[in-house]
Structure 1
């Protein structure tokens, strides 16, 4: 019995060492072949000799040679789970405690017990749709990071600056996104818009709206009020 257990133990150790060696080889090949793409992590996948690679803001699958990539969703049919989507949610989480809240507009609704950190573009149609849904959500504190994507919306940066410099910034924001009421012209003031653009790039936020929950989970795109409620309550 002791001999069998010893043999099993050495077998496990050998497998672990091989797996680590294969991951190391893969990491070296990725760095050599794709030096311009930052690799965030390399982990085993449910398939033997195939690895999950988080690079360029997305998950791909490959073997240790890194010559070919499998791109798409890995589905657990029996468990009815999208493994790739679940893993991306984990890998894309951030530490919200590191967010510079002085660069955000703070808006408290009700007791404000739940928290949401939002990166939004004033001229983004999906951001406008999300804002209409957020107006229905109570008991939440919203930290709004103005993030104009000028490549798509040339005037968005100007609107964002006017919103920030308004007497009541969040009301000005809602008036513009929900009621299409332009912000009143105000005297120029120092805004965090450029810093927010840099921050969004650091966080690999490629589109708006994007918001984070208190546990750092990243949510992309417009969501309904009921969906937002569900997401907030899940981390309460």
Structure 2
């Protein structure tokens, strides 16, 4: 009897494990239990990496999360569309952007320990600022970082070499922007080194294993085109370019307060 019971438990465990969405089996999460053949067809038509295939808020559609955008795919495999799906409420809540924000947030938080953080003593908000040493308005913004911290805003700096990571004529070489950021990110005191660059002080040449290329790619993925670029920690854009501290505080409060009302 015990042997039969154990065999039944083992059979049930195997059946359950086979029925669950498997990242290893598909290469992506599949909580919608979508037909792999349909997803292969989708990937042939939209050749971007898939993160997840989920039930959509709109019946009859699958929600395909990629590293570039959210797509909607009819359950019969006949139709694909990309665009914003809004909830029919007075705010017209953007469900597409809210869902994609969770993926951007994962990318940001995976690199969070690599950012150079100037933390507020009593933080109300935290934001991500894409920074380059040659950017005049980045320097101007950083001169007000103490004021921003006093206003309850924690600043996380991400390295974003404005001329890219690699020399466009020779990808075995890095750009001068990269090397200058490497001097900061590899310094013994990264906070002091970053501050020094904003005061036109030369930082000693140094190098180390670093994630500057990954930070740059993060910026590209979420839409950074120039510095400084200021984002919420889920990758929602707040401000392109410099604003004085008080004006920036007001804009951050407005952006993050309205953003907190979106579904998570």
Answer 1 or 2: higher relative contact order, Cα 8 Å, separation at least 6. Answer: 1
Q: Distance in 1 between matches of 2:153 and 2:135?
A: 23
TM, length-normalised to structure 2: 0.57
Partner of 1:87: 99
- Residue equivalent to 1:178: none
RMSD: 4.2
Give unpaired runs (5+ residues) of structure 2: 1-30, 168-174, 241-247
Please give the TM-score of this superposition, normalised by the length of structure 1.
Answer: 0.62
Q: Which residue of 2 aligns with 1:150?
A: 163
Q: In structure 1, the residue corresponding to 2:80 is in which secondary structure?
A: coil
How far apart, in 1, do the equivalents of 2:154 and 2:163 lie?
27
Question: By how many angstroms is 1:134 displaced?
Answer: 6.0
Structure 2 partner of 1:56: 67
The runs of 5 or more residues in structure 1 that have no matched partner are 1-18, 176-180
Aligned to 1:160: 181
Task: Say if 1:167 and 1:104 are closer, same or farther in 2 by CA, change over 3 A.
Answer: closer
Residues 1:197 and 2:197 are matched in the alignment: no
After superposition, the C-alpha distances for 1:107-158 in whole angstroms (9 at most, x for unaligned) are 2344457544444344568867976886653234333222214249965324
Aligned counterparts of 1:222 and 1:129: Cα–Cα separation in 2: 15
Aligned length: 204
**What is the CA distance between 1:212 and its match in structure 2?**
4.9
The worse-fitting range, judged by mean Cα deviation, of 43-52 and 130-139 is 130-139
Q: Is this contact kept in 2: 1:109–1:141, CA < 8 A? A: yes
Query: For 1:132 and 1:45, how far apart are their aligned partners in 2?
Result: 46
1:187 aligns with 2:200: no
